[in-house]
Amino acid sequence: MRKATIIAGLVALATPAFAGTNHIFVSNEKGNGLTVLDAADYTTVRQIKTGARPRGMVFSPDHKLLYVACGGVNRIDIVDVAAMKVVGRIGHIDDPETFDLDKKGERLFISNEDAGELSIYDLATKKLLKSIKVGLEPEGVLLNADDSKVYVASEGSNLVSVIDTATDKRTDIGTDTRPRRFAMTPDGKELWVSTELAGRVDVIDVATNKVVSHVDFLPPGMRKEDVSPVALVIDKAGTTAFVTLGRANHVGVVDVKSHKVTDYILVGSRPWGIAFDKDQKRLFVANGASDDVSIIDAASHKVRKSVPVGHYPYGVAIDE
Amino acid sequence: MNRALAATFIYLGASGVAYTAPLSHDITVGYVQVADDPRYDDQQGPAETVISPPRPLPGAEMAVDEVNIDATVSGRTYTLDHQDADGDDTLAATIDSMATKGVHWFVIDADDDAMEKLAKAERGKDVMLFNISARGDALRGPSCQPELLDVIPSRAMLADALAQFLLARKWPRVLVLRGPLPQDKADAEAFDHAAERFGLTIAATRDFIVSNDPRHRDQDNVALLTGDASYDIVYIADNDGTFARTLPYATIYPRPVIGAIGLVPTAWSWTWERYGAPQVSHRFKKRTGHDMDATAWAAWLAVRALDDALRESKAASTQDVDTYLVGPKMNIDGAKGPPLSFRAWDHQLRQPILLTTPDATIADAPMPGFLHQTNVLDTLGYDKPETKCKF
C-alpha cells in the first residue's frame, strides 16, 4: 500500500495531469467487494468491502473516484481510488448493473433492469435528474464521444435504443437475441453490441442506426449454443477487438476492419469483464465461474498468468 | 387498417396447408381456456387453505405488453383476444369462430384430452396452436398435428431430466410409487421410459391410494409401501398431491423423495436465478402478486416466440411465419440459458428442465456430461430417431 502511494507520487511528478496508482480493481459479484491487484506483480493489495453484488465500475474522468454499481443494495458505492475505500454512495437506484459517466463527470447514466428505464443522476447532488423508458431488461449503457447520444441495450427486447441526450428522443434498433454490451470504434462510426444468445456481435452503423454486419463466434470444437458473448473492447488504433465469450471460456479476437475473427484465446470459466491496460499491452479478463483473472498478452494472444481474486469476478477497471 | 386485408384468406387447396393470409400490422393473438377445466378447481389444502393453481393467462398478457415495446422495430402491434370455452366440446367451435374473424395464432390452456381433440379438429385449418399446459407424450407422438406447437415440456422431458440427475448423483436404484389417476400412470410410464433410456434400476413399482382402510394397508401404509426393497430414492407420481405431501420423512428408510414432491422437474420456478430469469419472474409477480409457474412461463414464451418469428422472418404471410417458427433459425430467449427452438419432428419446444425444491433450483438438465450429436437439449424427451409423430 505504501509502495502504491509512492508509485502514484512518482507518476504524478512525471505526468501531473494523470496520477495513476497502478492498481487493478476487480468487482466480485458474490464476494461483496473489490479485489485490488498490483498491476506490476499481480499481488493482492487490498480487498475493499462494498455493498452487496458489486458489478459495473467506471472511473471519474480524473480517476480519483471509482463508481461501483452494487445491485444487491440498490446503490452506487463511490470508492476513493488512492485511499482504496468507500467514501460515498448514491442510494435508491433500482438494481444497478452497468452505467456510464459523461465526459465532465457530472452525470451518471444507468440502466434499471427491472424498471426498463435509463436513469440519469447528477453526481454533485447525487439526485435523480430523469428516467427514460427503454426496452425490457436494459443492460449496456454507452455515451458517444461528445455525450450527444446515449446507447442502451435492452436484452429482454432485443433492442438498442439511441437516446438524444438533449431532447430525450428515443430511436430503437432491432438486434439479434439478447444484446448486452457495447464498444465504439475510435472513429465513432461503428457501434458494436454483443448479442449473447445469438453467439455474435452485431455491428451498428452509427450514421444510419442500422445493423450492417455481424461477427459470429465459434471456437473450435464448440457449438453455437455454448457461445455467449458479453463484454468487448476495441483498441485505440481501431484495429483489433477482444470479446469475452461467456460459456465458451474463450476470448474472441476480431479484426475490426474486416469484422473477421482471427483467433480464440482460452481463458478461465465464464469470462465476462475485460479491460486493456493503459498502453494496451495487456488484457485483463474476469472469469466469473473460476474466481480468477486471466492476464493476456495483447500482441501474442497468450495468457501470461491467472490470478485468484474474489467470488464471481464480474468486471475489471485499471488505474494506471 | 389492414385488418380487413388480414381477414381475406386465399383458399389454395382442399386439405393439408390450405390457406394463407397476408400479414397485418395489427396482430391479434387468441387466448382460449376452458371454463370448467378441473385442473383449476379450488382444492382444500392443509389447515383450511385453498390450493387453487393459478391460471396461466397473465403470462400471455405480460408477453403482449412486452412485445408491443419493440413495435417500431417489429412493425407490429399485438392484442390478446381472450375467450373462455364452456367445456372441452366447445373448444374447437370457439377457436373456429375467432379464426373466421382473422385470428391465426392461438395460445391454448387445456388438458391432454381436450388438446388432443382440439388439435385433431383443427387439422388442415388456417390456425397455429400453442399448447401451454398439456404435458402428455401422445400430443408429441401418435396424436401430434402440424398445427400444434408444444411450449410446455412433455412428461418424457421432465422424467428424462430426473433420470439424468439421478445418474449424475449416482443414485440409480429407484422405488416408484404410483397414484390412481390416469395422469399418475402417464407420469410413471414416462419415468419408466426414462429409466430404461438412461440405465436406472426400478427396484419396485407400487400403487398407492389415499385411504385409512386396514384391508388396503399394502397400498395406503407408507411404511409398507416403502419397505422390503433396496433403493436409493423414491419417485412418486401423484398429480392430486395429497399422498405425496406427507411422504418425505415418512419413508421406512432415510431416502429422498422426488417427482411430485421433494425434487420436482419443471419448466419454470421463481427459484431459478440465472440468465435473466429473476427479471422475468419479478415482472410477473409485480403484475399478479404471485410467482410465475411453468404454465405461466409457457404462455409468456408462446407470445414471445411468435413475436420473434414475425420480427426475424420478415415473412409476408402467416404460413411463412409458421414455417419459420418450426425452422432451424428460431433463437428464442426463454431466460433459461441456451436459445430455444421447436423440434421439427414433433413441434416440441426444446428447453432446459429445472429440478427444483420449494427453496431452490438444485440443478438444470441437461446435466453436464449428457451429450448429443447436434443439440444437448435433445437429450430430453423423444429425439428424432425415436419419435412416434408423423405429421
Nearest to A156 among B276, B375, B376 (CB): B276
User: Radius of gyration over alpha carbons of chain B, in Å?
Assistant: 21
Contact B279 A159 (CB under 8 A): no
Q: What is the mean pLDDT of residues B193-215?
A: 95
Q: How far apart are CA A1 and CA A24, in angstroms?
A: 13
A-chain residues within 8 Å CB-CB of B283? 114, 136
Q: How far apart are CA A318 and CA A22, in angstroms?
A: 7
Q: How far apart are CA B120 and CA B105, in angstroms?
A: 16
Say how far residue A173 (Cα) sits from the centre of its chain.
21
User: Radius of gyration over alpha carbons of chain A, in Å?
Assistant: 18
Confidence at residue A82, expressed as pLDDT on a 0 to 100 scale: 96
Other Cβ atoms within 10 Å of B328 Cβ, number = 9
Q: Is the pLDDT of residue B349 over 80?
A: yes
Q: 74-113 in B: which are within 8 Å (CB) of A?
A: 74
Q: How far apart are CA B369 and CA A65, in angstroms?
A: 46
Q: What is the mean pLDDT of residues B152-163?
A: 98
Mean pLDDT of chain A: 93
Kindly state the cell numbers that stand for B235.
Answer: 419417485
The single residue listed with the C-alpha cell 493482492 is: A44
What contacts A142, CB < 8 A, 6 or more positions away? A100, A150, A151, A182, A183, A184, A191
Nearest to B331 among A113, A116, A177 (CB): A177
Confidence of residue B11 (pLDDT cuts 50, 70, 90): very low
Percent over 90 (pLDDT), chain A: 90
Confidence at residue B53, expressed as pLDDT on a 0 to 100 scale: 85
Task: Give A197 to chain B, closest Cα distance, Å.
Answer: 6
Contact B69 A137 (CB under 8 A): no
What contacts A65, CB < 8 A, 6 or more positions away? A59, A78, A79, A80, A81, A87
- Assigned CATH topology for domain B156-265: Rossmann fold (3.40.50)
What contacts A164, CB < 8 A, 6 or more positions away? A148, A149, A170
What contacts A41, CB < 8 A, 6 or more positions away? none
Q: How far apart are CA A110 and CA A120, in angstroms?
A: 6
**Peptide bond preceding A229: is omega within 30 degrees of 0, i.e. cis?**
no
Confidence of residue B16 (pLDDT cuts 50, 70, 90): very low
Q: How far apart are CA A81 and CA A279, in angstroms?
A: 20
Cα-based distances in Å from A266 to A48, A227, A306, B270: 29, 13, 12, 34
Confidence of residue B114 (pLDDT cuts 50, 70, 90): very high
Tens digit of pLDDT for each residue in B141-155?
Answer: 999 999 999 999 999
Count of all residues that appear for chain A in the document: 320
**Is the Cβ of B69 closer than 8 Å to some Cβ of chain A?**
yes
Name the β-bridge partners of B92: none
Confidence at residue B52, expressed as pLDDT on a 0 to 100 scale: 75
What contacts B377, CB < 8 A, 6 or more positions away? A225, B338, B340, B350, B351, B352, B366
Q: How far apart are CA B294 and CA A216, in angstroms?
A: 33
Q: What is the mean pLDDT of residues B235-245?
A: 93
Which residue on chain A is closest to B285 by alpha carbon?
A114
Confidence at residue A7, expressed as pLDDT on a 0 to 100 scale: 46
Q: Is the pLDDT of residue B352 over 60?
A: yes
Cα-based distances in Å from A237 to A107, A262, A284, B20: 28, 17, 18, 53
Percent over 90 (pLDDT), chain B: 84
Q: Is the pLDDT of residue A8 over 60?
A: no
Q: What are phi and psi of A108, to 5 degrees?
A: -115, 125
Is the separation of the CB atoms in B335 and B277 below 8 Å? Answer: yes
Confidence of residue A14 (pLDDT cuts 50, 70, 90): very low
Task: Give B314 to chain A, closest Cα distance, Å.
Answer: 12
Contact B279 A156 (CB under 8 A): yes
Kindly state the cell numbers that stand for B295.
Answer: 404454465
Q: What are phi and psi of B196, to 5 degrees?
A: -70, -40
Mean pLDDT of chain B: 92
**Is the Cβ of B202 closer than 8 Å to some Cβ of chain A?**
no
Confidence at residue A156, expressed as pLDDT on a 0 to 100 scale: 94
Contact B339 A177 (CB under 8 A): yes
Tens digit of pLDDT for each residue in A144-156?
Answer: 999 999 999 999 9
- Assigned CATH topology for domain B3-153+269-351: Rossmann fold (3.40.50)
Contact B74 A174 (CB under 8 A): yes
**Is the Cβ of B333 closer than 8 Å to some Cβ of chain A?**
yes
Confidence at residue B362, expressed as pLDDT on a 0 to 100 scale: 98
A-chain residues within 8 Å CB-CB of B339? 177, 197-198, 225
Q: Is the pLDDT of residue A2 over 60?
A: no
Task: Give A184 to chain B, closest Cα distance, Å.
Answer: 22
Angle at A139 between CA A137 and CA A144, to 5 degrees: 135
Name the β-bridge partners of B332: B340
Q: How far apart are CA A241 and CA A229, in angstroms?
A: 13
Q: How far apart are CA A247 and CA A196, in angstroms?
A: 10
B-chain residues within 8 Å CB-CB of A172? 70, 72-73
Confidence at residue B2, expressed as pLDDT on a 0 to 100 scale: 44
**Strand ranges (E), A155-301:** 159-164, 170-174, 179-184, 190-195, 200-205, 210-216, 232-234, 240-244, 250-255, 260-266, 271-276, 282-287, 292-297
Q: What is the mean pLDDT of residues B372-380?
A: 95
Q: How far apart are CA A226 and CA A221, in angstroms?
A: 10
Contact B73 A137 (CB under 8 A): no
Contact A156 B333 (CB under 8 A): yes
Q: Is the pLDDT of residue B307 over 50?
A: yes
Q: What is the mean pLDDT of residues B111-127?
A: 96
Confidence at residue B18, expressed as pLDDT on a 0 to 100 scale: 44
Q: How far apart are CA B223 and CA B239, in angstroms?
A: 21
Confidence at residue B112, expressed as pLDDT on a 0 to 100 scale: 96
Q: How far apart are CA A270 and CA A301, in angstroms?
A: 18
Amino acid code (one letter) for B51 = I
The single residue listed with the C-alpha cell 405425496 is: B244
More confident residue, A206 or A12: A206
Query: Which residues belong to CATH 3.40.50.2300 in chain B?
Result: 3-153+269-351, 156-265
Contact A116 B69 (CB under 8 A): yes
Other Cβ atoms within 10 Å of B189 Cβ, number = 16
Q: What are phi and psi of A136, to 5 degrees?
A: -80, 140
